[in-house]
Structure 1
Amino acid sequence: MPRAVLIAHRWLGVFVGLLMTLWCLSGFVMIYVDYPRLDLGAQVRGLAPLRLPAQVALGAVDIPADLPITSARVEMRAGRPVLRVVPAASADRPIPQMRTTPAAFDLETGRPLGPPSPAELRRIAADFAKGHGIASSAQPPTETGMDQWTVQTYRRNAPLYRADYGDPAGTEIYISGTSGEVVQQTTRFQRFWGWLGAVPHWLYPTILRQDGALWSQVVIWTSLAGCFLTMTGIWAGIVRVRRRRDGTIGSPYKGLWWWHHVFGLFFGLLTLTWAASGLLSMNPWGLLDSMGGFAERQRLAGTPRWSEMRGALSAAAKVSEQRAGTAVRIETAPLGGRMFLLAVNADGETRRFDAKGTAAPLREQELRAALAGTPQLGSLDLLAEEDAYYYGRKSPARLPVWRAVLKDGEQTRLYIDAASGQLLRAFDRNGRSYRWLQDGLHSLDFPVLRKRPWWDLVVLPLLAAVTLVCATGTWMAWNKVLRDWRRWRRRRLPAGSR
């Protein structure tokens, strides 16, 4: 084996080996505690029940009638019914910001809403606490900069206001200073384990993560270095295997070296797959770019104009009455050229209504008609259980869903909510490859292992073995480098001063 490769392996073992050991140790935490994030269900649960006037002031909302709209929804903000509208993408408008921060209008007057006042921020925090059963009242929300838990949400929601509840769980929420929406929630438990899990595992310290491009390159190149370190280690381990005098084959080493050598031979390939799949999670150089779902979403929903949505939303008060005051959000759900409304309860239950406010459960024929065209529909099945591509990780997936497989070159698979007709997930060929190469290899996320605690019983010992490989290799490399350094220093010193 070339000496240069061994030297490179040794030095990488000091720095990259330490990082890989950290990845392994934080991986134990990541198995059970993820990075804190406010999912859609938690956001909806924090909304107050809808209280709409008999006649909402949609006619006074200053939006051009022919403006294409992606979505619109009605909900409460600090005791006031509001309309949130997301314009469709357009080449002549800077839409990315508008898509993440919808325009908001007061439904009683039709006038645009400005940033929430201090009193409104307190009311928003109180409504969120009531919906989540938080007994303590929040301290007055205070403006905060980007911190460890808002690196993903800060720029599109700045300024952010943090409200601390002082409850036993140590709950904190972050409220957007532009839209008045709660965009992040953390607890003391999540923050503590986040520092030991997601932050080191994803190389997520704020000082690095706030520069997305730099963070991406750091993760990609350190992952590549980890792959190189592992491959050279496997090579070195194989060429160092020896035949003993009694004819058996084994390691020539003793002590810690023996453990590293033997475990590296058995678990080196698993170490490599974890490092490589971690690299693929960043989709380096667009290797697994996927367009699955973009055209299909447009095909299902179309691009309705504001005039169509305004007509349907005029029935929002009627829909709210039918839900007996339990709805916390009403949103548009166009399908197949027709406009529908979804009434969402705090527990996530969703009911579908037509543009006149009449209950309209989704029918198979209706979905088939919306999917008609080119490419043709290959199959359409109603799933009551998860499959190999549509499944939950740390929480159950929404069921039932329609699974549609298209007769296109990609054999695109669509998963459509059976209650609303909204596209939940889509997988083209690259999307399916990513699922197996990243989720499958990195998390050992295979259907046969998905049941808990069987998955834990397999993954925890394997992760412990890989941790042993990385930790012993780092320790050995560090000691060898120190010995080499001392030897070099002795050679450089004059003979009389040794």
Structure 2
Amino acid sequence: MKRYLYLWHRWLGIVACLFMALWFISGVVMLYVGYPKLTPAEHWSRLPVLQLDDAPIELKQVLHAADPELAPSSIRLTTVAGAPRYILEYPGPRKVAIEADSGLRALPTDRVEALAAARQFAPGVAVRDRGTVNGDMWSQSRALDADRPLLRVATADAERRLLYVSGTTGEVVRDATATERGWNWIGAWLHWLYPLRGIGIDGAWGPIVTYLSLAATLMAVLGLAVGVLRWRFKRTYRNGSHSPYQGFARWHHVGGMLFGVLLITWIFSGLMSMNPWKIFSSSQPLSVAAYQGAPLHAAAFPLSAAQALQRFADDGLQARELEWRMIGGKGYVIGYDGAGRTRILAMDDQQVLRQFNPDTLRQAAWAIRPERPMVVQQLAAYDFYYYAREPHSMMGHLQQRLPVLRVRFDDPAQTWLHLDLHTGAIVGQLDQPRRASRWLFGLLHSWDWLPLLANRPLWDLWMILFSAGGLLISVSGVVLGWRRLGRALRARRR
């Protein structure tokens, strides 16, 4: 039995250790430089103050021009290439852009409009067309599917950005600085094995990463078992060491004994990030459609966009973007300024609010499962299941503001909702499988643990030290595997 442990560990390691070494190197890079994205904060900060004509079109006309048969899931009014434009999103995903001055559908984005959108994003900077792509190494995210094809524009600012402009709406939907692009060659692009998605096997990318991670996890477990079997705890070998090996083999053995358990948790949690075999997907997801109370329709919004802008300005908010929401059957317009600060304009009493009354959101949430009891609590501080990360991190684009309402439902999956009191948005939906993912991926892979996150030098030291331990095991394994292959090839030639 021992012989098979050694053989399985050896031959799995010859294949997996190289990938593990790449994962640890790229993982350290990702601690500080994430995959390019355009966060909401960056989006709002780059918008001009919203300006409308004296007689802007009505919301009813916007909805009819976009799709007279289907209600949108969201409506925004923003500035695109220097002109106000409505952006409507539909399930699918699908986006429709309507010109705010004419009420007509916007044409597909062309080169001239893409350059104008880039100048709005980076005013006073020279811009250059870099062609149109359906996807490239910096635009792999599925969140961009409704915006494809993407028009790329390079800016001549200090960051040397590469901007991606939506072919549907004309908005800048992603920016990748030269620093991000440079580090991501050995960062997220390498960590997620994105090179495999550029050689015509996109459909096989997920299974390849999943089974490679599974093989690496098995190899690490077998390696720890072999390491324990070969380690003399009470006495030493003739060489005076508790390990029988020399050179790289000893480094590999000792490194495995010191960091093997954490190595296993990191590789295993990386496997969990792929949601293998849909184990974190709920079989009975809770529908939250009733939270709106009614589809987005023009009758719920008697005030025009221009009137909403004026109300927000009177309250001290220079809105750069407006968003229409239905909550509990009532209409609200949310205004955002350049710093992401918000105001709420209630359509029923036409009052401007800083936050929603918790009872308003509680009643709207109750409509989701009115026949079942629910528990509601207001969080004033982050906890294990609701917390913020740095903008460059994988989940850094999420707006995790405080205070927030947590609503717990008595449904089969014990679903929790997090409701943002500043916008009324559902900013998180956690059921039992997703909470399991929080433990098996969020905690074990990124060490998203508040005592560490709140003490960043401690978190950095923890992540770098143990990444170095994993890299020691992986690199020494690569050397040993290379030597073993060399001996096997020479023996075959003889």
Say which of 80, 97, 101 aligns to 1:108.
101
Is the 1:11–1:481 contact (alpha carbons within 8 Å) kept by the matching residues of 2?
no
Query: 1:136 matched to which residue of 2?
Result: 125
For 1:13-28, list aligned pairs within 5 A: 13-28=13-28
After superposition, give the CA deviation of every residue in 1:303-350 in whole Å (9 maximum; x if it has no partner): 4143335x35x4211111233382111111211111111011121111
After superposition, give the CA deviation of every residue in 1:217-248 in whole Å (9 maximum; x if it has no partner): 11101101101211221121122223536999
The answer to whether residue 249 in structure 2 is matched with residue 278 in structure 1 is no
Alignment partners' CA distance in 2, 1:409 and 1:255: 56
The answer to whether residue 297 in structure 2 is matched with residue 300 in structure 1 is no
Q: Secondary structure at the match of 1:424?
A: strand
Q: Secondary structure at the match of 2:323?
A: strand
Check 1:399–1:162 CA distance in 2 against 1; reply closer, same or farther (3 A cut): same
Amino acid at match of 2:319: A
Alignment partners' CA distance in 2, 1:176 and 1:475: 46
Deviation, 1:278, is 0.5
Query: 2:50 matched to which residue of 1?
Result: 50
Scaled by the length of structure 1, the TM-score of the pair is 0.88
Query: 2:360 matched to which residue of 1?
Result: 366
The answer to whether residue 372 in structure 2 is matched with residue 375 in structure 1 is yes
After superposition, give the CA deviation of every residue in 1:102-155 in whole Å (9 maximum; x if it has no partner): 21212222221112344332221111114xxxx523224643453210122665
Deviation, 1:281, is 0.5
Alignment partners' CA distance in 2, 1:327 and 1:434: 37
Query: 1:36 matched to which residue of 2?
Result: 36
Scaled by the length of structure 2, the TM-score of the pair is 0.88
Q: Secondary structure at the match of 2:74?
A: strand
Amino acid at match of 1:236: V
Is the 1:60–1:109 contact (alpha carbons within 8 Å) kept by the matching residues of 2?
no
Is the 2:417–2:426 contact (alpha carbons within 8 Å) kept by the matching residues of 1?
yes
Deviation, 1:12, is 2.3
Q: Secondary structure at the match of 1:193?
A: helix
Q: Secondary structure at the match of 1:110?
A: coil
Q: Using the TM superposition, name which of 115-124 and 461-470 deviates more.
A: 115-124
Deviation, 1:202, is 0.8
Q: Using the TM superposition, name which of 473-482 and 276-285 deviates more.
A: 473-482
Query: 1:92 matched to which residue of 2?
Result: none
Check 1:75–1:209 CA distance in 2 against 1; reply closer, same or farther (3 A cut): farther
Alignment partners' CA distance in 1, 2:243 and 2:224: 13
Alignment partners' CA distance in 1, 2:410 and 2:433: 16
Alignment partners' CA distance in 2, 1:69 and 1:178: 16
List structure 1 runs of 4+ shifted beyond 6 angstroms: 245-249
The answer to whether residue 485 in structure 2 is matched with residue 481 in structure 1 is yes
Deviation, 1:466, is 1.4
After superposition, give the CA deviation of every residue in 1:192-215 in whole Å (9 maximum; x if it has no partner): 111111111111126448754311
Q: Secondary structure at the match of 2:164?
A: strand
Is the 1:267–1:466 contact (alpha carbons within 8 Å) kept by the matching residues of 2?
yes
Say which of 252, 261, 281 aligns to 1:289.
281
Say which of 422, 425, 433 aligns to 2:425.
422
Say which of 197, 205, 211 aligns to 2:187.
197
Is the 1:162–1:173 contact (alpha carbons within 8 Å) kept by the matching residues of 2?
yes
For 1:214-363, list aligned pairs within 5 A: 214-242=204-232, 244=235, 250-290=242-282, 294-296=286-288, 298-308=289-299, 311-312=301-302, 314-324=303-313, 326-355=318-347, 357-360=350-353, 361-363=355-357
Query: 1:495 matched to which residue of 2?
Result: none
Is the 1:293–1:427 contact (alpha carbons within 8 Å) kept by the matching residues of 2?
no
Query: 1:462 matched to which residue of 2?
Result: 466
Deviation, 1:449, is 1.8
Is the 2:84–2:99 contact (alpha carbons within 8 Å) kept by the matching residues of 1?
yes
Gaps of 5+ in 2: none
Alignment partners' CA distance in 2, 1:216 and 1:115: 32
Deviation, 1:380, is 2.0
Query: 2:135 matched to which residue of 1?
Result: 146
Check 1:323–1:275 CA distance in 2 against 1; reply closer, same or farther (3 A cut): same
Alignment partners' CA distance in 1, 2:241 and 2:253: 13
Deviation, 1:430, is 0.9
Count the aligned residue pairs.
472
Query: 2:172 matched to which residue of 1?
Result: 182
Amino acid at match of 2:112: A
Query: 1:494 matched to which residue of 2?
Result: none
Alignment partners' CA distance in 1, 2:468 and 2:86: 51
Check 1:299–1:249 CA distance in 2 against 1; reply closer, same or farther (3 A cut): farther
Alignment partners' CA distance in 1, 2:242 and 2:422: 61
After superposition, give the CA deviation of every residue in 1:46-87 in whole Å (9 maximum; x if it has no partner): 223211223322244435667333111111222322222223
Check 1:446–1:97 CA distance in 2 against 1; reply closer, same or farther (3 A cut): closer
After superposition, give the CA deviation of every residue in 1:19-53 in whole Å (9 maximum; x if it has no partner): 10111111111111111111222222222321122
Is the 1:274–1:442 contact (alpha carbons within 8 Å) kept by the matching residues of 2?
yes
Check 1:442–1:245 CA distance in 2 against 1; reply closer, same or farther (3 A cut): closer
For 1:69-108, list aligned pairs within 5 A: 69-87=72-90, 95-98=91-94, 102-108=95-101
Alignment partners' CA distance in 2, 1:302 and 1:344: 24
Is the 1:66–1:307 contact (alpha carbons within 8 Å) kept by the matching residues of 2?
no
Is the 2:21–2:471 contact (alpha carbons within 8 Å) kept by the matching residues of 1?
yes
Q: Secondary structure at the match of 1:487?
A: helix
Amino acid at match of 1:301: Q
The answer to whether residue 416 in structure 2 is matched with residue 413 in structure 1 is yes
Amino acid at match of 2:422: A
Q: Secondary structure at the match of 1:161?
A: strand
Q: Using the TM superposition, name which of 8-17 and 30-39 deviates more.
A: 8-17
After superposition, give the CA deviation of every residue in 1:403-461 in whole Å (9 maximum; x if it has no partner): 22233343322211111111111211111110010111111222232221111122211
Is the 1:292–1:412 contact (alpha carbons within 8 Å) kept by the matching residues of 2?
no
Instruction: Please give the root-mean-square deviation of Cα atoms over the aligned residues, in Å.
Output: 2.5
Is the 2:93–2:145 contact (alpha carbons within 8 Å) kept by the matching residues of 1?
no
Q: Secondary structure at the match of 2:194?
A: coil
Is the 1:66–1:306 contact (alpha carbons within 8 Å) kept by the matching residues of 2?
no
Amino acid at match of 1:364: P
Amino acid at match of 1:419: H
Alignment partners' CA distance in 1, 2:72 and 2:168: 20
Alignment partners' CA distance in 2, 1:348 and 1:293: 31
Amino acid at match of 1:384: A
